[in-house]
């Protein structure tokens, strides 16, 4: 039966009302879910800001500067967890960025397809190792074999061991995201470079890495965010598990970081389940949020500046 196309009326082209209604319902549903997730994020930030403000309001400013982070004694020396986080994250990135980037370059530019087919998924599985396992590894193996070899006086709990543990934890993540960025560079650019007589290492350094730079920086930022946010490894290996951590600027001392301090303070105890000690957690949380936000903004600026669009 063939359709006939005579003169049409407007009703012939308006479509079925039922279908239009379905279309509207679907699009409304998606819009609502999008707004809900946005709203939840805003509420989280607002509650952080509110509680952090209550904390600041409820203490004397002098409590924020001292020589230890010890909520039970109303000592909230901010530089203790912040410098701890800086040290741990710094060491972690010193470990994770070179190893992660080198593995990514190997996988993307050098490994033959068979090796790559096996290694890439393996790497992604490694990214799923629970951090508590690495915490123990850092405590039981990294501390005696690496940290105490570097510095014989180092105690059993050190920020250095925690940093190395967090670094190992971050390697698969950085390697995997970096590899995606490198692999996304069109092979026509590699061919052009090779065709001009470039060695593979020259092509990698001069063409592939610059072309992938925005993805690589994103990988590093994800790595840093992961490292700053990591709790368990530091909790176990750095000795910040108690409610009390002395300020230190040395990697070879025990200490705490922002996240571990939060975890320790949350641990149930009559004194701390309410009041300023609890609110101090929100304040730390807000600091963490601001740090990661700034980091992302800086990285975004950097990427805009250096990236080569292909």
Partner 1 sequence: MTIETETEDTDNVNIFEVSDVNVYYGDFRAIRDVSIDIEANEITAFIGPSGCGKTTMLRSFNRMNDLIPTARVTGELKYRGVSLYDKRVDPVEVRRRIGMVFQKPNPFPKSVYDNVAYGPRIAGNVSKGAEMDDLVESSLRKAALWDEVKDRLKSSALGMSGGQQQRLCIARAIATNPDVVLMDEPCSALDPIATGRIEELMAQLKDEYSIVIVTHNMQQAARVSDKTAFFSVEVSEESDLRTGILVEFGSTDLMFSNPTDERTENYVTGRFG
Say whether residue 198 binds partner 1 (CB under 8 A). yes
Helix 275-306 vs helix 213-229: crossing angle, to nearest 10? 170
Say whether residue 202 binds partner 1 (CB under 8 A). yes
* Sign of the dihedral through C-alpha 300, 34, 181, 224: positive
Say whether residue 142 binds partner 1 (CB under 8 A). no
216 closest CA partner among 293, 111, 280, 307: 307
Q: In angstroms, what is the minimal distance from the CB of 191 to partner 1? A: 6
Say whether residue 304 binds partner 1 (CB under 8 A). no
Q: In angstroms, what is the minimal distance from the CB of 115 to partner 1? A: 10
Say whether residue 188 binds partner 1 (CB under 8 A). yes
Say whether residue 182 binds partner 1 (CB under 8 A). no
Q: In angstroms, what is the minimal distance from the CB of 293 to partner 1? A: 29
Q: Are 243 and 72 in contact (CB under 8 A)?
A: yes
Q: In angstroms, what is the minimal distance from the CB of 195 to partner 1? A: 4
Q: In this chain, which of 2, 197, 270, 305 binds partner 1, going by CB under 8 A?
A: 197
CA distances from 61 to 57, 110, 115, 155, 276 (A): 9, 56, 58, 32, 13
Strand-by-strand arrangement of the 245-246 sheet: 75-76, 68-70, 245-246
Q: In angstroms, what is the minimal distance from the CB of 296 to partner 1? A: 24
Which 106-135 positions form the footprint of partner 1 (CB under 8 A)?
Answer: 112-113
CA distances from 170 to 51, 163, 221, 255 (A): 31, 10, 11, 21
Which chain residues interact with partner 1 by CB under 8 A? 112-113, 186, 188-199, 202, 206-207, 210-211, 308-310
């Amino acid at each position: 039966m063939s359709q006939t196309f005579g003169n049409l009326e407007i009703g012939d082209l308006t479509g079925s009302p039922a279908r239009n209604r379905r279309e509207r319902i679907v699009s409304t549903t998606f819009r609502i879910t999008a707004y809900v997730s946005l709203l939840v994020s805003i509420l989280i930030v607002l509650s952080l800001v509110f509680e952090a403000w209550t904390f600041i309001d409820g203490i004397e400013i002098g409590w924020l500067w001292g020589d230890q982070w010890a909520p039970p004694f109303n000592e909230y020396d901010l530089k203790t967890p912040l410098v701890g986080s800086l040290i741990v994250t710094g060491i972690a990135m010193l470990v994770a960025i070179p190893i992660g980037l080198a593995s990514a370059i190997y996988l993307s530019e050098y490994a033959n397809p068979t090796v790559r087919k096996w290694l890439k998924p393996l790497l992604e599985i490694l990214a799923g190792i629970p951090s508590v396992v690495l915490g123990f590894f850092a405590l039981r193996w990294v501390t005696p074999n690496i940290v105490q070899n570097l510095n014989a006086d180092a105690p059993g709990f050190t920020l250095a061991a925690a940093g190395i543990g967090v670094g190992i934890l971050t390697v698969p993540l950085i390697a995997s995201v970096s590899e995606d960025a490198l692999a996304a560079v069109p092979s026509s650019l590699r061919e052009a470079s090779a065709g001009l007589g470039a060695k593979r290492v020259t092509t990698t350094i001069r063409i592939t890495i610059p072309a992938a730079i925005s993805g690589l920086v994103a990988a590093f930022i994800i790595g840093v965010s992961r490292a700053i946010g990591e709790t368990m490894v530091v909790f176990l290996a750095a000795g910040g598990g108690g409610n009390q951590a002395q300020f230190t600027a040395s990697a070879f001392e025990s200490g705490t970081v922002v996240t571990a301090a939060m975890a320790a303070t949350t641990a149930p105890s009559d004194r701390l389940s309410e009041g300023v000690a609890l609110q101090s957690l929100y304040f730390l949380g807000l600091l963490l949020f601001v740090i990661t936000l700034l980091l992302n903004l800086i990285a975004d600026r950097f990427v805009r500046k250096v990236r080569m669009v292909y």
